[in-house]
Amino acid sequence: MIAEVLNSYDLHLEFLRTLVSDLSAEQMVSQPERVPNHPAWTVGHLAFSCQAIGGELGLKAWLPADWEEKFGTGSTPVADESAYPGKEALLKALADGKSRLSAALREMGDVGLAEPLPDVRYRDKFPTIGHAVIHILSGHTALHLGQLTVWRHAMQLPLVVEPLNQN
């Protein structure tokens, strides 16, 4: 199951890179009316989510300490370029998170996914590590990709076709 989940996550991140590939630094933090989650926050949030789920896999935190405040659940995106790392740094942090998660998941194996989720606050929704991993790498990521698609529409930018639909 790990290979399947990581394949899906790879496809999501490929689409994300396409969604932000043509954006300027100014656009990365633009907040059109009623679309507050700009690309800089979204990419940073997904990178921070890697660290959060990585903690459930036993990984030590690796991102700068201020990332939780900037990108964690409940953080508020701001339209200020200086408040965020640049696009390439954000994408690099996300790729690093994916690499760390991939290695940890392959090491733990499918049996490890069946272990109870260490964070008891979320066990009613995610009884096992596998439930949480699938949600974060698939559902949660897809939700934010949809938000980026809406953001691009609100910014009147060209439509980006999801890679699987490019044939």
| Side-chain half-sphere CA neighbours of 26 within 13 A | 1
Give tens-digit pLDDT for 94-137: 999 999 999 999 999 999 999 999 999 999 999 999 999 999 99
pTM: 0.96
Please give the pLDDT value at position 163: 72
Task: Please give the domain boundaries of the chain with CATH numbers for all domains.
Answer: 2-160 (1.20.120.450)
Task: Indicate if the pLDDT at residue 57 is higher than 70.
Answer: yes
**d(C-alpha 118, C-alpha 128), whole Å:** 8
pLDDT band for position 167 (50/70/90)? low
